[in-house]
A and B are shown apart, each in its own frame.
Chain A
Amino acid sequence: MNSIIEIKNVYKTYPNGIEALKDINLEIDKGEVVVVIGASGSGKSTLLRTINQLEIVDKGQIIVDGVDVTNPKTKLTTIRSEIGMVFQHFNLFPHLTVLDNVTLAQIIVKKRNKKEAEDIAMSLLTKVGIADKSDVYPTQLSGGQQQRVAIARALAMKPKIMLFDEATSALDPEMVGEVLDVMKSLAKEGMTMVVVTHEMGFAKEVSDRIVFMDYGKIVETGTPDTIFTSAKSERLRQFLSQIL
């Protein structure tokens, strides 16, 4: 058993009656890069957000790194601090400088001292190529820069898993590349990643496995090769023809 995420028979219906997830089963191995694709409204973001319980599931079980996150008795703060998440709209804290954005949770959640947190933050900001902006506020940065800060903020918690929720969808086209490059280098380092994206190039190049979702169900999974060259379901072939 090498899987770090186990999703078993998960259902989720929103209060407005939309069935976002229907009987989802998925296992993700340590170090694996899984890309979830599908049309908007197919439930791929919801699925991603159930992994750190930003969305509470109605039925089923999700086990992350041996912890049942769907059990109401589980202390979610601990497991959440071990799952990094990157959002479509960055969600940086606008009242804090770039450096404080990256150090805050380290200090108050991981209880690291300020010096240690700042050292980790600076090395990560250097890694994402934005160390020279550590003193500015997020609103003074471009979208691509903000998203790289957001990745550094998530990585500072030393997470075991990284979740990317359409991390490049809100970016201007010329900035998509810089963010994807950071994600690629993370994948190369062996980080376990679950990525919801419309970037098929990234999916082809980086992912170990692609999961195709449609109307709240996982329709097909496979390696990039099989998905892109020999899709079995009609729905997936249709989706790929629209997007490629």
Chain B
Amino acid sequence: MNNKKKQILWNIAYVLVVVGIGYFIYISSSKVNYIWRWKNVPSFIVYKAHEDIESPVKGIVEDYKNKTVYIKTLDGKIKTIKVEHPEVKKGDVVDTTDEIGYNESYKSGPLLVGLYMTLKISFLAIIAAIIIGLITGLMRISSNPLLKNLAITYIELIRGTPLLVQIFIFYFFIGTVFHLDRLVAGVGALAVFEGAYIAEIIRAGIQSIDKGQREAAISLGMNYYQLMRYIIMPQAIKRTLPATAGQFISLIKDSSLVSVISITDLTKAGREIITSTFSPFEIWFTVAAMYLILTYTLSLFTQYLERRMAKGE
């Protein structure tokens, strides 16, 4: 009981500290001469598009119902035009290209478009990184020196150089030689980079499986593929799930670096908005929050998977 009280006390302390830090940030930001314009921010995520509708014909407005304007042309035909907000009345005479009203619709703002690009790049890179990591991880533990050394060279090269530099090399060198689209170069650089880390995770996972599992499987007559597919990998993947998920979260965050080769991902979208609005604080906070939503969702999903998989044992 006493212990429980202590826990509550410390949790209250936690809330106070967080609020305190928030207050400190607020105070310090109010000291700089900066005008906060939070109310503009939502429009960069979703905005209401205004589309003027022009009359395609010359004629007289006959009627308006069901969000449709009926125009009677000079030769007596009825022309129907969808308009949600008409600005003409019954009996008005309209000429071609005269404005008869406008439509409104919700459109994705640049940040949401950028978020979609970040998701797309990350998703493609994760798939490719899994394939690269799986193959390299298996090569890494192979007894064949060619495969093993190739894998080690790749892993060491990639892990020993910065991702930013790799993206430049991928785009400016490999991209130029093979005429790669910037998106392909970006996804490729990310996949090659994260693949090296996933290879090491997979290697560690496979090596952590008791050697008796291998012996039991091959003594039953399984070949290498069957051993890996049915015995080793299911156990290794389960064991490495937390580390792999961490790597995927890293990948989503690292994907912000592809903005340097002019891919309009979430980060680049943020930068572009800032050049026109001069509201860097709000935009960067919003961009950070959007990344956090992505990574936290992935983190929750992994926790769910772990719990579900843990039931087996």
Residues of chain A touching chain B, judged by Cβ–Cβ distance below 8 Å, are 52, 54, 76-78, 80-85, 87, 89-95, 104-105, 108-110, 137, 139, 150, 153-154, 157
With known contacts A95-B235, A104-B230, A85–B312 Cβ distance under 8 A: no
Contact A52 B313, beta carbon cutoff 8 Å: no
Contact A91 B221, beta carbon cutoff 8 Å: no
Contact A54 B215, beta carbon cutoff 8 Å: yes
Contact B218 A95, beta carbon cutoff 8 Å: no
Please, which residue of chain B has its CB at the minimum distance from the CB of A75?
Answer: B223
Compute how far the CA of A137 lies from the CA of B215 in the bound complex, rounded to whole angstroms.
Answer: 20
With known contacts A94-B313, A95-B235, A78–B221 Cβ distance under 8 A: yes
Please, which residue of chain A has its CB at the minimum distance from the CB of B215?
Answer: A54
Name the interface residues of B276-294: CB closer than 8 Å to any CB of A: none
Contact A109 B218, beta carbon cutoff 8 Å: no
With known contacts A54-B215, A91-B212, A93-B231, A105–B312 Cβ distance under 8 A: no
B119 at the interface (CB under 8 A from A): no
Q: Name the contact of A94 in the complex, choosing from B217, B220, B221, B235 (C-beta under 8 A).
A: B235
Contact B215 A87, beta carbon cutoff 8 Å: yes
Please, which residue of chain A has its CB at the minimum distance from the CB of B238?
Answer: A95
With known contacts A95-B312, A139-B313, A108–B230 Cβ distance under 8 A: yes
Q: Name the contact of B216 in the complex, choosing from A81, A83, A87 (C-beta under 8 A).
A: A87
Which residues of A are found within 8 Å of B238, using beta-carbon distances?
A: 95
Compute how far the CA of A157 lies from the CA of B219 in the bound complex, rounded to whole angstroms.
Answer: 10
Contacts A77-B218, A80-B220, A91-B216 known; list 14 others, CB within 8 Å: A54-B218, A85-B216, A87-B216, A94-B235, A95-B234, A95-B235, A105-B221, A108-B230, A109-B220, A109-B222, A150-B216, A154-B219, A154-B220, A157-B221
Name the interface residues of B189-238: CB closer than 8 Å to any CB of A: 210, 212-213, 215-223, 226, 230-231, 234-235, 238
Q: Name the contact of A92 in the complex, choosing from B216, B218, B219, B221 (C-beta under 8 A).
A: B216
Kindly provide the distance from the CB of A122 to the nearest chain B CB, expressed in whole angstroms: 18
Contact A87 B212, beta carbon cutoff 8 Å: yes
Compute how far the CA of A82 lies from the CA of B220 in the bound complex, rounded to whole angstroms.
Answer: 8
With known contacts A109-B226, A137-B312, A54–B219 Cβ distance under 8 A: yes
Compute how far the CA of A77 lies from the CA of B227 in the bound complex, rounded to whole angstroms.
Answer: 11
Number of A-B contacts (CB under 8 A): 70
Please, which residue of chain B has its CB at the minimum distance from the CB of A156?
Answer: B220
Q: Name the contact of A52 in the complex, choosing from B210, B219, B226 (C-beta under 8 A).
A: B219
Q: Interface residues of B, CB < 8 Å — how many?
A: 20
Which residues of A are found within 8 Å of B220, using beta-carbon distances?
A: 80-81, 104-105, 109, 153-154, 157
Which residues of A are found within 8 Å of B210, using beta-carbon distances?
A: 89, 91
Subset of 27 A-B contacts with CB under 8 Å:
A52-B219, A54-B218, A77-B218, A80-B221, A81-B221, A82-B221, A87-B215, A91-B212, A91-B215, A91-B216, A92-B216, A93-B213, A93-B216, A93-B235, A95-B235, A95-B238, A95-B312, A104-B230, A105-B220, A105-B221, A108-B230, A109-B222, A139-B313, A150-B216, A154-B219, A157-B220, A157-B221
Which residues of B are found within 8 Å of A157, using beta-carbon distances?
A: 220-221
Which residues of A are found within 8 Å of B215, using beta-carbon distances?
A: 54, 85, 87, 91
With known contacts A95-B235, A108-B230, A89–B222 Cβ distance under 8 A: no
Kindly provide the distance from the CB of A177 to the nearest chain B CB, expressed in whole angstroms: 24
Kindly provide the distance from the CB of B306 to the nearest chain A CB, expressed in whole angstroms: 14
Compute how far the CA of A57 lies from the CA of B312 in the bound complex, rounded to whole angstroms.
Answer: 38
Q: Name the contact of B313 in the complex, choosing from A76, A108, A137, A154 (C-beta under 8 A).
A: A137
Kindly provide the distance from the CB of B210 to the nearest chain A CB, expressed in whole angstroms: 8
Which residues of A are found within 8 Å of B218, using beta-carbon distances?
A: 54, 76-77, 80
Please, which residue of chain A has its CB at the minimum distance from the CB of B213?
Answer: A91
Contact B219 A85, beta carbon cutoff 8 Å: yes
Contact B313 A77, beta carbon cutoff 8 Å: no
Kindly provide the distance from the CB of B66 to the nearest chain A CB, expressed in whole angstroms: 59
Compute how far the CA of A91 lies from the CA of B222 in the bound complex, rounded to whole angstroms.
Answer: 15
Which residues of A are found within 8 Å of B219, using beta-carbon distances?
A: 52, 54, 80, 83-85, 154
Kindly provide the distance from the CB of B189 to the nearest chain A CB, expressed in whole angstroms: 35
Which residues of B are found within 8 Å of A81, using beta-carbon distances?
A: 220-221
Kindly provide the distance from the CB of A194 to the nearest chain B CB, expressed in whole angstroms: 13
With known contacts A78-B221, A95-B312, A89–B226 Cβ distance under 8 A: no
Compute how far the CA of A66 lies from the CA of B215 in the bound complex, rounded to whole angstroms.
Answer: 23
Which residues of B are found within 8 Å of A83, using beta-carbon distances?
A: 219
Q: Name the contact of A105 in the complex, choosing from B222, B234, B313 (C-beta under 8 A).
A: B222
Compute how far the CA of A95 lies from the CA of B215 in the bound complex, rounded to whole angstroms.
Answer: 16
Compute how far the CA of A110 lies from the CA of B238 in the bound complex, rounded to whole angstroms.
Answer: 27
Which residues of B are found within 8 Å of A78, using beta-carbon distances?
A: 221
Please, which residue of chain A has its CB at the minimum distance from the CB of B309?
Answer: A95
Which residues of A are found within 8 Å of B226, using beta-carbon distances?
A: 108-109
Name the interface residues of B232-279: CB closer than 8 Å to any CB of A: 234-235, 238
Smallest CB-CB A-B distances: 7 pairs: A81-B221, A91-B216, A91-B212, A105-B220, A85-B219, A109-B221, A80-B221
Kindly provide the distance from the CB of A213 to the nearest chain B CB, expressed in whole angstroms: 21
Please, which residue of chain A has its CB at the minimum distance from the CB of B237?
Answer: A95
